Chains A and B, each alone.
Chain A
Amino acid sequence: MLNPISAAFKIAKKEKRPALLTYTVAGDGSKKQSLNILKSISENVDILEVGVPHNTPVADGSQIQTSAYRAIKNGIKINDIFNIIKKFKKSRKNKPVILMGYYNMIFQYGENNYINKCKASGVNGLIVVDLPWPENKNFAKKCKSKSIYFIQLLSPTTTDTRLKKIIKDSHQMNYFISMLSTTGGKLKVTPKEILKNYNKIKKIDPKKQTVIGFGITEKTIGKLKSADGLVVGSAICKEITRSLNNRQNPVTNVSRLVKNLKKKTT
């Protein structure tokens, strides 16, 4: 069977638009709310990235940190996260879900246990922020054997030879980090420059899907439409924080934001 991630890219391609990917932190604002957010936004989202909150995140900006610390404070545990995904998948069987997090949590759970649990809960892909290539070779292989995509990260600092080696080993999807930044930074390079780097990556293996993430907001998403997929994370986390601070319902507010993002990509 085709991994639902690849299926989602196919549909978006057919509709001549980039796939829309969102990032939300599991357990933010509460376990229930984060599940409801996933359910509600999924009608406008092609692929859902779900963050596994960690308390020493070395690559996340303040908005995602705020969401992560809030979720941890609310008592979220890894097994709760698997339960959230399982529940979500019960009603949205074919909507692809990617878990994104830091390696220590996987290491403590045990690599094999983690992958098995992912499989059982319906996770389709994994992003591990601090497990770069070639350190991730072994783990990526294990994922592949369970038909879970291990998604390689590529950065503007990744050298050309390294790009080629990583992409040769990568599964069907790669993630290009738009600029030198933690998540949620302001776009400090032009969309044109981002796309130039993106096209260079794309040329190495055009059959593999490459998404762009970091710093994408309602304002900038329209200018990057030619990519295979676009990820919005911090802007959503920020909206959750804003909603909670104003005692508004994050589910409806985030859904509205995502609907708008979708509109701008079509």
Chain B
Amino acid sequence: MKLKKRIPVIDQGNKLGFWGGKFGGNFVPETLKKPIEDLEILFNNLKEDKKFIAERDKYFKNWIGTPTRFIKLENLTKHVGGAQIYSKVVSDANGGAHKIYNATVHCLLAKRSGKKVICGDTGAGYAGKMLSMAAKKFGLKCKIFMGAKDIARQQPNVKAMKKNGAEVVPVYSGSQTLVDAVSECMRFWVANCDTTAMCVGSTVGPAVFVRICGWSTSQISRELKVQLIEEFGSIPKKLKLYNCVGGGSSSFGFWNEFMDYDKKQCEFIGVEAGGPAKSKKHAAPLTYGSKIGILHGAAQYVNQNSDGQIEETESISAGLDYPGISPLHCFLKDTKRARYTSASDEDALKAYKLVTKFEKLRPSLEPSHAFFVAIVESKKFSKDTIVVVNSCGDAYKDKKILEQRLGIKYVKSN
């Protein structure tokens, strides 16, 4: 299995949509074959279309707000005493997380295809919130599927979705989290694909959704590359990019532009959700060596039992609480371009406390996982190592959990 240079990773799949010959694909009901093919044709054309790119960039700039900040975490760096720690504050983006890029592109595509309704899944509620924002902006009706457990634990985002006029459909099956929301959303699309567009909230799902999402979030690394050169004059000799990994959209977007650099110069570290320290359940299929299986239309490493039933996950962060992982990351793991590890619930909370103590930054529980590993590893790095953590979400949505676990004083107001 080999990663090719100078070809975008999203375009390195084979004819049937498999990366490395075995990750991804289109394991979908016959009914979805045609709508998926239509979307592929549309996307393949538009992504080479200068006018479309200009339109995308206009909305990214004026509506989402680009670039998001690239800042040095001076106090944290001093406290840790090793590498220079920076953050790309992607939570600056309109809505408060990276999910806005994919949502915006999907709505632009939906408009082009003449669809009037768009449906989407959400875990942490950011993908849903962003889709509701973009749908409103572009005049589409919006329907969001969300696990009942996530609705309870991510209320601020649920309120935002409703305020934007989206219908939020609670999903009560299975573990009542993201995995069930994606299933239900796909089922809805099967029954309504003639009138409705679907947005998958991360780099998961049938191959075209993986590609669209990766293409959209790559905005993050396009900005970062410019910012690094502005700050250091060139891409640093020892650069380490830390990102949390749920489905993998934020991490893929954070790394994409640096793909062709040697990993000795530019290393990618993906941090999965290890779940509660005391629990056997986790949402870290790459870290724990889960077997390849099919989930939501794509072959990937996924938590499952020997019969092939998908296993329940557990994580304090709803956004990482997913048993599978993007085929792109399976590919990056097996080609050894990226390294994957995990942080527990407790680790993430510890990192949140530390970051908010030293910096004017409020990473949500998802990026707090990445901060934990970045902080631990930074201690051992030389002073000329540049560590960048993607702070891809804001913690306002986690208010209730933070209050329960850390006490009220850790919940910074909005």
Q: At the interface, yes or no: A187 with Cβ under 8 Å from chain B?
A: no
- Is A158 within 8 A of B187, CB to CB? no
| Alpha-carbon gap, A150 to B27, bound state (A) | 16
Q: Which residue of B lies closest to A182 (CB)?
A: B187
Given contacts A56-B296, A78-B307, A135-B25, contact A158 B186 (CB under 8 A): no
| Alpha-carbon gap, A131 to B309, bound state (A) | 17
Q: Which residue of B lies closest to A61 (CB)?
A: B187
Q: Which residue of B lies closest to A66 (CB)?
A: B173
- Is B307 within 8 A of A105, CB to CB? yes
Residues of chain B in range 275-310 having any CB-CB distance to chain A below 8 Å: 291-297, 304, 306-310
Given contacts A56-B183, A130-B29, A158-B34, contact A77 B294 (CB under 8 A): no
| Alpha-carbon gap, A78 to B28, bound state (A) | 22
Q: At the interface, yes or no: A99 with Cβ under 8 Å from chain B?
A: no
Q: Which residue of B lies closest to A53 (CB)?
A: B309
- Is B310 within 8 A of A55, CB to CB? yes
Among B183, B187, B190, B308, the residue within 8 A (CB) of A104 is B308
- Is A158 within 8 A of B33, CB to CB? yes
The interface residues of chain A lying within 8 Å CB-to-CB of B304 are 104, 108
Chain A proximity of B70: nearest CB distance (Å): 39
Q: At the interface, yes or no: A227 with Cβ under 8 Å from chain B?
A: no
- Is B307 within 8 A of A162, CB to CB? no
- Is B29 within 8 A of A58, CB to CB? yes
Among A60, A78, A105, A157, the residue within 8 A (CB) of B33 is A157
Q: At the interface, yes or no: B44 with Cβ under 8 Å from chain A?
A: no
- Please count the residue pairs between chain A and chain B whose beta carbons lie under 8 angstroms apart in the complex: 114
Chain B proximity of A158: nearest CB distance (Å): 6
Chain B proximity of A90: nearest CB distance (Å): 24
Q: Which residue of A lies closest to B311 (CB)?
A: A55
Q: At the interface, yes or no: A195 with Cβ under 8 Å from chain B?
A: no
The interface residues of chain A lying within 8 Å CB-to-CB of B25 are 135
- Is A130 within 8 A of B192, CB to CB? no
The interface residues of chain B lying within 8 Å CB-to-CB of A57 are 183
The interface residues of chain A lying within 8 Å CB-to-CB of B26 are 132, 135
Q: At the interface, yes or no: B139 with Cβ under 8 Å from chain A?
A: no
| Alpha-carbon gap, A134 to B17, bound state (A) | 12
Chain B proximity of A56: nearest CB distance (Å): 5
Given contacts A104-B295, A131-B27, contact A157 B193 (CB under 8 A): yes
Q: At the interface, yes or no: A72 with Cβ under 8 Å from chain B?
A: yes
- Is B186 within 8 A of A58, CB to CB? yes
Can you list, as one digit per residue, whether each of A26-58 has a CB less than 8 Å from chain B (1) or not (0)? 000000000000000000000000000011111
Given contacts A104-B295, A109-B308, A158-B33, contact A60 B187 (CB under 8 A): yes
The interface residues of chain B lying within 8 Å CB-to-CB of A159 are 34
The interface residues of chain B lying within 8 Å CB-to-CB of A77 are 307
Residues of chain B in range 134-183 having any CB-CB distance to chain A below 8 Å: 173-174, 179-180, 183
- Is A157 within 8 A of B35, CB to CB? yes
Chain B proximity of A235: nearest CB distance (Å): 17
Chain B proximity of A80: nearest CB distance (Å): 10
Chain B proximity of A176: nearest CB distance (Å): 10
Q: Which residue of A lies closest to B28 (CB)?
A: A130
Given contacts A135-B26, A162-B33, A180-B193, contact A130 B294 (CB under 8 A): yes
Task: Name B residues whose Cβ lies closer than 8 Å to a Cβ of A.
Answer: 16, 25-35, 173-174, 179-180, 183, 186-187, 190-194, 291-297, 304, 306-310
Closest 5 CB pairs of A and B: A108-B308, A104-B294, A157-B34, A105-B308, A155-B31
